């Protein structure tokens, strides 16, 4: 197919600007999300990837604003709503991924840090790879050991000698053989979502070991010293940030505003504090504040969002 041929050219660094725009259009118009194999080809592309033209990006953002608008009068079923978000996120993937550097790890010890609005693909010595989210820190003491603060998605290469791959956070030690999983770690908590394979989650504070299965979400909160396990989670909810959309499912308005404030370094002021308790499912774009505000306005259809010099007022 034409799309697969263009992806091959992208991976080889042979794609032209016009072809990059054509590929973007094919992904954008496709009714189904790209296959894992196709997305991996894009993720593993070299630094010679071509950034699509600005007008193409603007067209996609306009379509995202239209497609992701939340209709509170006639809300679709939960699965259909999440699948719709997945389709739009896939259309954004080329825009986001094409701008990411792809860093090979060659030395025995490495320290990599991302800043605001920055994501990095990292190729490890053993054939595994990692995508580091913004405001995150990863340190490599060996080819199969990573210490993480922040958020990262791992695709671990399985080795014949069964050498485990280890990820350490402040609150947990994760051991895997070959798998795909997402980790988010802060001073307050560690959260792990398993997409494929098996992960051994060990919590030193509780001396507790959990054998995770695909679809499992394990959450440890330091303040309460509670370990929570949830089954059959939707993949896009926990890994959508890789494609430019973080899906906040059934959360309070307070949490939505907090995520936007942290991501874009802005502040919100809410006149009625009771509004902060309102529950919603919100697709948060990770690359455009204007799009995030537009979606928030479409979600809070009975409220006004007013931009002041230093903050946003919701009333």
pLDDT in tens, 14-40: 667 666 667 666 765 665 555 545 544
Q: Does residue 289 carry a pLDDT above 60?
A: yes
How far CA 91 is from CA of 19, 57, 159, 183, in Å, comes to 16, 11, 33, 24
Could you tell me which of 296, 229, 228 has the C-alpha nearest to residue 266? 296
Selection from 241, 142, 158, 143 nearest residue 196 by Cα: 158
| Residue 312, phi then psi, degrees to nearest 5 | -110, 135
- Sorted by sequence, the CB contacts under 8 Å of residue 216 that are 6+ apart come out as 193, 194, 229, 230, 231, 233
Of 115 and 5, the structure prediction assigns the larger pLDDT to 115
Give the Cα separation of 122 and 146 in Å (integer): 12
Determine the pLDDT at residue 143: 73
Copy the structure tokens of residue 111.
Answer: 């320290």
Which range is least confidently modeled, 125-129, 170-174, 249-253?
249-253
The confidence band for 137, taking pLDDT boundaries of 50, 70 and 90, is very high
pLDDT score, position 18: 66
The Cα 125–Cα 216 span in angstroms is 28
296-306 pLDDT tens trace = 888 887 888 88
Coil/strand/helix, residue 294: helix
- Cα 31 to Cα 28, 35, 92, distances in angstroms: 8, 12, 14
How is residue 232 annotated by DSSP?
A: S
Q: How far is CA 309 from CA 268, 306, 312, in A?
A: 12, 10, 8
Cα 227 to Cα 113: distance, rounded to the nearest angstrom = 28
SS3 for 126-148, per residue?
Answer: CCCEEEECCCCEEEEEECCEEEE
pLDDT tens per residue, range 145-167: 899 999 999 999 888 776 789 99
Q: How far apart are CA 49 and CA 23, in angstroms?
A: 12
Average pLDDT, the chain: 75
Q: Say whether pLDDT at 129 is over 80.
A: yes
User: What are the tens digits of pLDDT across the range 175-200?
Assistant: 998 899 999 998 888 999 999 999 99
Q: Is the pLDDT of residue 231 over 60?
A: yes
Tally of CB atoms within 10 A around 302: 6
Q: What pLDDT does residue 91 have?
A: 47
What does the pLDDT look like over 41-98, one tens digit per residue?
A: 444 443 333 333 334 444 444 444 444 444 434 444 444 444 444 444 444 444 444 4
Tokens standing for residue 163: 């050498």
């Amino acid at each position: 197919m034409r799309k697969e041929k263009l992806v091959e050219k992208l991976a080889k660094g042979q794609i032209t600007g016009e072809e990059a725009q054509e590929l973007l259009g094919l992904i954008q118009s496709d009714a189904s999300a790209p296959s894992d194999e196709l997305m991996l080809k894009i993720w593993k592309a070299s630094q010679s990837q071509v950034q699509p033209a600005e007008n193409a990006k603007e067209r996609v953002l306009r379509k995202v604003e239209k497609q992701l608008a939340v209709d509170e009068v006639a809300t679709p079923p939960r699965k259909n709503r999440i699948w719709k978000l997945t389709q739009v996120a896939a259309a954004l993937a080329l825009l986001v991924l094409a701008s990411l550097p792809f860093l090979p790890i060659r030395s025995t010890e490495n320290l990599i840090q991302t800043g605001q609005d920055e994501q990095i693909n990292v190729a490890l010595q053993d054939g595994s790879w990692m995508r580091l989210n913004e405001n995150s820190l990863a340190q490599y003491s060996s080819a199969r050991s990573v210490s993480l603060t922040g958020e990262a998605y791992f695709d671990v290469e399985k080795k014949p000698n069964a050498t485990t791959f280890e990820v350490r956070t402040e609150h947990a030690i994760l051991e895997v053989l070959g798998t795909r999983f997402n980790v988010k770690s802060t001073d307050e908590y560690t959260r792990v979502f398993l997409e494929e394979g098996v992960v051994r989650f060990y919590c030193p504070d509780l001396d507790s070991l959990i054998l995770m299965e695909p679809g499992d979400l394990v959450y440890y909160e330091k303040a309460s010293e509670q370990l929570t396990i949830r089954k059959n989670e939707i993949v896009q909810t926990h890994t959508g940030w890789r494609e430019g959309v973080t899906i906040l499912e059934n959360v309070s308005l307070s949490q939505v505003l907090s995520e936007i404030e942290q991501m874009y370094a802005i502040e919100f002021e809410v006149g009625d504090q009771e509004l902060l308790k309102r529950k919603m499912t919100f697709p948060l774009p990770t690359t455009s504040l204007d799009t995030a505000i537009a979606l928030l306005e479409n979600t809070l259809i009975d409220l006004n969002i007013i931009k002041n010099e230093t903050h946003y007022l919701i009333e």
